[in-house]
Structure formats: structure tokens, C-alpha cells
Structure 1
């Protein structure tokens, strides 16, 4: 039996940095864009009989939680990820959308839903939603996707990125904290309040 292919990919950012006065993707963010590009190209034959795949790049300015000033217009995570994908020619093979307001993984998912970026798409074991990030980040994304999107198990498909950053020890801490702070909570407003409280309780650095 052929494994299902994700026709919708949700790509999670991993921050921006500066080179001189120019804002650029961190190597980990760039690796996630490249993983999405590779996935679309690898499965191009599977998309031929259906409509073009959808790739949603999601990421705003996570560093805002640390008090850093926001980048200029067009230089948030989502903007830069979309630009990298367009430069690689992905727009010729997929529909590209972007979410650029979020400051965390939870907000990535909440804003994607609130902005209607997944409208018209239904997900399940035969039509999973592809999650593009590093392997060490994917368990927390799956946990939050279950709360925000009501998807779990085979309704989600991991598309792991490689390179750009080693496995994060902090991610394990944030994942465990998320499971505790978000226990029994699915309402978006309550999730946001719980996240603010969680971030305030952790050592200084916002979760990505």
C-alpha cells in the first residue's frame, strides 16, 4: 500500500538574524524551507493528477518576546521563507501562502487557522497535513496541532528538516512544560494566556 502524500505543508520558522544591516533566515529556518522544497519536488508525480500542493510558511518575529525590535517590512520569518522558496522556483510547482504575525509555535498554528490559510482543505489518515520542521521540534508541533487543529496520529505527517542547528536541549524542556501548562485546554484565548504564563516561568528565551 502506497503511503499517503501530504498535499498541504505547514512550514515552521526558526528565527531570523542579521548580517550587517540585512535581516536573513537563520540556517535552521533556511533548512526547513529547503525541506519543503525537496518534499514537493520528490512527490511531484503524486501531485500531477490533483491540484497543486499548498505550502504555508509561518513565522513572524519570535525575538519580540525578548524585547528585540521588529524587522522592517518584508523581513519577518514568513516573508524571508517565502522569498527563499520563490527564488528556488517553488511557485511553479505549488501554491504558496504566508503567515507573518506569530511569535511562537502555538501562534503559528492559531494564526494559520484564524487567517483561513487552510480553508477548503480536510485532513485525515488518507490526506495528512505535512508538518515541516526539525525532528526535535515535531513532537511539540504534533501536540499543539491536536489542540488547535484537532488532528493527531496519521492525520499529520512529519517532514523533517536536517542541518542548520543541532538538536535543542531547551526544546525538550519547552515540550514538557507545554504538556503541563496546556493540559485540558483547547480554547484559543486560554491557550494564549497559558503560553504567556509559561514563557514567563521559563528561563529567559521564548520558545520557537
Structure 2
């Protein structure tokens, strides 16, 4: 059975860095933007001419978790991702939106909803929400999407990115840990409080 074509893509950031005095996407972050561009390009014939697909780029500065300073205005992940997409001409074929406050995968989902970037869209097996990230990240995104968006299974469509960095060994541990951290928590405020408490506890943990 052929998978349905999604008309809404949510692209997850993978960090920012500085190079030559400028803020840039990490190679993995750039790969995720390219995956969204590739998906829209590959399925243009399937989109209704009356309604362009929607691509939401979500990311602030994940490095905030390590105490890194806030990038200047216009240089957060979402800004850099949409700039790369526009440079490739994606705005000629899709509506582009950004969410630039997030510092984690959970916040990607929470802030996207809070900012109304998915408003007006109902998702289900025939109209799934496309999740754009690396294959090793997608299981945790799906787990959190079930918590935040109440979506699961065929209501979500994986759009895997390739390249930029090897598979993350740490990610599997994070996925397992997330199931423990958020056990029994379902409301957005509670999820965010739990995540921030865990991050604070990890920061206080002595090294070694």
C-alpha cells in the first residue's frame, strides 16, 4: 500500500554553530532542511494546486541546555533553516513558517502548537503530519508527538534525513529515558516542568 503524501511537514533543528564569525546550521541541521526540500520536490505533482504544502521549521538554540549564549536576532535555528530553504527556492512551492524559541525536541512540539503553526489542520491516516529528522531521532519525536499532539501510528509520517552526522548512540538512551521522565504526564505544562527539572538535575550532577 502506498503511503499518503503529507501536505504539512514539521522540520526539527539540530543545533547552530559559528563559522568565520557567522552563525550557521550544523551539517545535520542542514541535512534536515534538505530532506524537506527533497520531499516537496519529489511530490509536487501530488499537491493540490489550490493549496501549497506547509513546511514548519522549528528550532531555537539547543545549545542553551549547556548554557551557551542566545544567538543574535535572525540567527536562531528556525531563522537559519528557513533561509536555507528560501535560498533553494522552496518558498516558490510551499508556505514556510518558523518557530524560533525551542531548546529541545519537546519544546519543538509544544511551541509549534502554542504559536498556532498547525492551526486549521486535522491529521489522521489519510492526512498525516510529516516529521522531518534523522531516522535515529524519529522514534523519540513520535513518542513526544503522542503526548503533545495526541497523534500516533499512521497519523504521523516519517521523512528521514540523511547525512550530516552518524547515528547518535546517545539518542537511544534519551528515547528510553524520555519514557521514564514523562511517565504519567500528559498536559503540556507538566511535560515542560518535568523536562526542565530533569535538565536542572543533570546540570547539578557532579562530573566523573
Where on the TM-score scale, by shorter chain, does this alignment land: which range?
Answer: over 0.9
SS state at 2:130 partner: strand
Counterpart of 1:90 in structure 2 is 90
Match of 1:173 in 2: 173
Report the aligned-residue RMSD.
Answer: 1.3
- Give the conservation status (yes or no) of the 8 Å contact 1:177–1:198: no
* Deviation of 1:49 (Å): 4.5
Structure 1, gaps ≥5 residues long: none
What displacement does 1:196 show?
1.3
> In structure 1, what is the equivalent of residue 124 of structure 2?
124
Secondary structure class of the residue paired with 2:55: strand
Separation in 1, partners of 2:176, 2:199: 13
Residue 52 (structure 2) pairs with residue 57 (structure 1)? no
Cα offset for 1:3? 2.2
CA-to-aligned-CA distance 1:79-101 (integer Å, 9 cap, x gap): 00000000000000000000000
How many angstroms does 1:50 deviate by? 4.9
User: Which residue matches 2:14?
Assistant: 14
Structure 2, unpaired ranges of 5+ = none
Separation (CA, whole Å) in 1 of partners of 2:73 and 2:49: 38
Partner of 1:189: 189
Aligned equivalent of 2:106? 106
Q: Distance in 2 between matches of 1:108 and 1:48?
A: 28
Distance of 1:8 and 1:54 partners within structure 2 = 5
Question: Under a length normalisation based on structure 2, what TM-score does the superposition of the two structures give?
Answer: 0.95
**Whole-angstrom distance in 1 between the partners of 2:193 and 2:97:** 27
CA drift of 1:199 comes to 2.3
4+ runs deviating over 2 angstroms: 197-204
Deviation string, structure 1 residues 33-74 (Cα, Å, up to 9, x no partner): 000000000000000445100000000011111111111110
SS in structure 2 at match of 1:118: coil
Question: For residues 185 and 46 of structure 1, what CA distance do their matches in structure 2 show?
Answer: 38
TM-score w.r.t. structure 1 length? 0.95
Deviations along 1:111-161, whole A, 9 cap, x unmatched? 000000000000000000000000000000000000000000000000000
Which segment is superposed worse, 184-193 or 144-153?
184-193
Aligned to 2:164: 164
